[in-house]
Structure 1
C-alpha cells in the first residue's frame, strides 16, 4: 500500500465551511497540509482555524471545493459539463445577459485555434446592402500602391471590401498565423503526466460558461493558497479547452464572462491573465463582433491595456 494514502487516511478530520450557505465538508488533514506551505500553516499554525479544526471558505462555491477535494485525493478533477440550451429563446436569454447581439445564423464565426488555417480566413464584405457592388481601382492604405477591389455603389455607403492590397493583407494574416501557432505551442501550459482531452463544442447551443469558470475558479483558489501543482493543472486544462473551442456568435458571452472573472480575481502579470490575453489577441477580429466583448474592454482597462500590447505585435 502507498504510504502516502496510509498517512492521509490515518490523519485527523478537518472541517471546511464552504460557500454562502455555509455547507460543511470534512477532509483528512494530511490530504490538505501536504499541498502547500500556506495550507499547512493555515491548518497547523496555531491560529483559530488550527485550534478549532475548522476553516471557513465562504468565498469559494461548493462545486469548486468539491473539485479541489477530488484533486487533493486523486491528483485530477473533472470540469463542469456544458449546459445545452435546447431552444432559441434560451439562447436569446443567455446572450442578452452579456449584451451580445444574437444573429439568426448558427454557423461559427471562427474555427477553433487547434485547426486554424489562414487560407480559410476571408473577411466578410459588410456594406449597406441597398445597392450592388462594382470593381474599382483603390490605393492601398499601407503601401500606397494601386489595387483592384469591390465597392458598394450606394452613394452614402461607398464601403470598400478591402483597404489593403493582397500583399499587405497577406503579411497581416501571416502575423496572425504566427500568433496562433505561438499560442497553440506555448510550453508554459505543458501537459501533466496524463494529457487532458477536452470535450469539443460543435453547436451554438452548447453553453461553455460553466466549463471555463470551473477551471478558472479552481486556478484562483490554487493561486490564493500557493498550490502550484493545481494552479498549473487548471491553467493547462483551460488552455487546451480554449484551443479546441469553436466560436459561435451565441457563445461569445461565455468568453466574456471568463475574462471578466479572471481579471477581477487575479493580479498583474498573472499566468491566467496572460493565457486569456493571448487567446483574445488571436481571435479579436471575431470577438469584436459581439457587443459584450467591447463593453468588457471599456469596463476592464487592465485587460484592454494588455490586449493592445499583444495586438501591437501584429502591426506593420
Structure 2
C-alpha cells in the first residue's frame, strides 16, 4: 500500500483550505466509493487530485488516520472560561412521574437481575453416567485395577519463576503505541467548564462523512465512540447546550425518517439519550429553543416519550 501512487486531497475552502497526500491503495481500501474514485478513469483518477471544499480539514485528517490505522484520535474538548458554579445533575435520571427511566442507550443492553449460578448439570439435564454398560470402568477384564497416573513432581522455586514470567511487561506508558491507543479512547468530562461540543460534533461530522462515502466500519466506529462518550458524560446544566447542538446537527444534516419509520442511527442515538435524561432536558432553556424550531425532532421526541409513557 505504501508503495502505491499518491493522491492529493484538497480539503476546505478559503483560508481553511488544506492539502493531504494519501496513498491511493490506502484510501481505496476503505470503501467501494473511494475504490471507484481512484480507479474509474474519471478526472480525479487521471489528475490524482480530489476536491472536497465542504469537508472540514480536521474531519478529513481523522478519516485519513482511520484509513492508515483503522482508528482515529477522539476530538478534544474546549476549556470554557467562566467562574460560574455548577453541579452535575443527578443520575440515574427519573421520569416526569418520579420513576427511573427504563430506556437503554442504543447498543446498551438492559441490565438483568443477578441470578445465582446453577449447579453443574450434565448435557440434556441427565445425571452423570456411572461406570457400567457402555461406560469405561476402572477394572480390566481380569478384574485388576488400572495403574493410577503419577503426579508430576513439583520443584522448589517453580511457582516464583512462573509468577515472574507471567507478570513480565515490556511496554512503557510513554511508548508511542501506548500513547496512541490512549488517544483513541473516548474521554469523559469531570467539570462543568469542559465544553464537549467540539467532541460531539467531531464524531457526528465524521459519521456523516462515512455515511456519504460508504465507509461502514468507520460509521459504526463513530457511533461506538459517541455512545461511549455519552455514557460517561456528566450532564451539568451548562453542558445541556452541548447535547442540544449535537441534536441540532443530527436533525439538520442527517437523513430524514424513512417511510417505514426507520430513523438515521445518529438521530436515534441522540434521541434516546435526551429521553433517557428527560427530567434534565425537559425545562432547560436550550432544549425549549430546540423544540420551538420544530421539524422531525419534535415528532420523534414526543413519539418516543409517549411510547415509553414517561
Q: TM-score, normalised by structure 2?
A: 0.69
Once structures 1 and 2 are overlaid, which stretch shifts more, 194-203 or 243-252?
A: 194-203
Which residue matches 1:209? 197
Listed as ranges, the matches of 1:147-162 within 5 Å are none
Structure ID, larger Rg? 2
Higher relative contact order (CA 8 A, sep 6+): 2
Cα offset for 1:49?
A: 1.3
Number of positions where the alignment pairs a residue of Structure 1 with one of Structure 2: 231
Once structures 1 and 2 are overlaid, which stretch shifts more, 297-306 or 21-30?
A: 297-306
Match of 1:39 among 6, 13, 34: 34
Take 2:249 and 2:106, find their aligned partners in 1: how far apart are those partners? 25
Which residue matches 2:49? 54
Cα offset for 1:236?
A: 0.4
Listed as ranges, the matches of 1:229-240 within 5 Å are 229-240=217-228
Match of 2:87 among 94, 107, 114: 107
Q: Structure 2 vs 1, CA of residues 281 and 23 (structure 1 numbering), >3 Å: closer, same or farther?
A: same
Which residue matches 1:302? 296
Listed as ranges, the matches of 1:173-184 within 5 Å are 173-174=99-100, 176=101, 178-180=102-104, 184=108
Query: Is 1:13 aligned to residue 6 of structure 2?
Result: yes
Which residue matches 2:216? 228
Once structures 1 and 2 are overlaid, which stretch shifts more, 68-77 or 291-300?
A: 291-300
CA contact (8 A) 1:183 1:278 kept: no
Structure whose residues are more often helix by fraction: 1
Match of 2:59 among 64, 83, 86: 64
Take 1:276 and 1:182, find their aligned partners in 2: how far apart are those partners? 9
Which residue matches 1:5? none
Take 1:181 and 1:291, find their aligned partners in 2: how far apart are those partners? 24
Q: Structure 2 vs 1, CA of residues 110 and 50 (structure 1 numbering), >3 Å: closer, same or farther?
A: farther
Partner of 1:305, secondary structure, is: helix
Take 1:219 and 1:182, find their aligned partners in 2: how far apart are those partners? 16
Q: Which runs of 4+ in 1 moved over 3 A?
A: 180-184, 194-197
Take 2:223 and 2:54, find their aligned partners in 1: how far apart are those partners? 20
Take 1:181 and 1:38, find their aligned partners in 2: how far apart are those partners? 31
Partner of 2:191, secondary structure, is: coil
Take 1:279 and 1:203, find their aligned partners in 2: how far apart are those partners? 20
CA contact (8 A) 1:184 1:243 kept: no
Cα offset for 1:253?
A: 1.0
Q: TM-score, normalised by structure 1?
A: 0.68
Take 2:219 and 2:44, find their aligned partners in 1: how far apart are those partners? 24
Cα offset for 1:265?
A: 1.3
Q: Structure 2 vs 1, CA of residues 52 and 110 (structure 1 numbering), >3 Å: closer, same or farther?
A: farther
Partner of 1:24, secondary structure, is: strand
Partner of 2:103, secondary structure, is: helix
CA contact (8 A) 2:37 2:45 kept: yes
Which residue matches 1:82? 77
Cα offset for 1:84?
A: 1.3
Take 1:251 and 1:304, find their aligned partners in 2: how far apart are those partners? 21
Cα offset for 1:83?
A: 0.9
Listed as ranges, the matches of 1:20-35 within 5 Å are 20=13, 21-35=16-30
Summarize deviations over 1:238-294 as a string: whole Å, max 9, x none.
011011101111111111111111211111221111111111111122113321211
Which residue matches 1:97? none
Which residue matches 1:185? 109
Aligned residues: CA RMSD:
2.3
Q: Structure 2 unaligned runs (5+)?
A: 111-180, 258-262
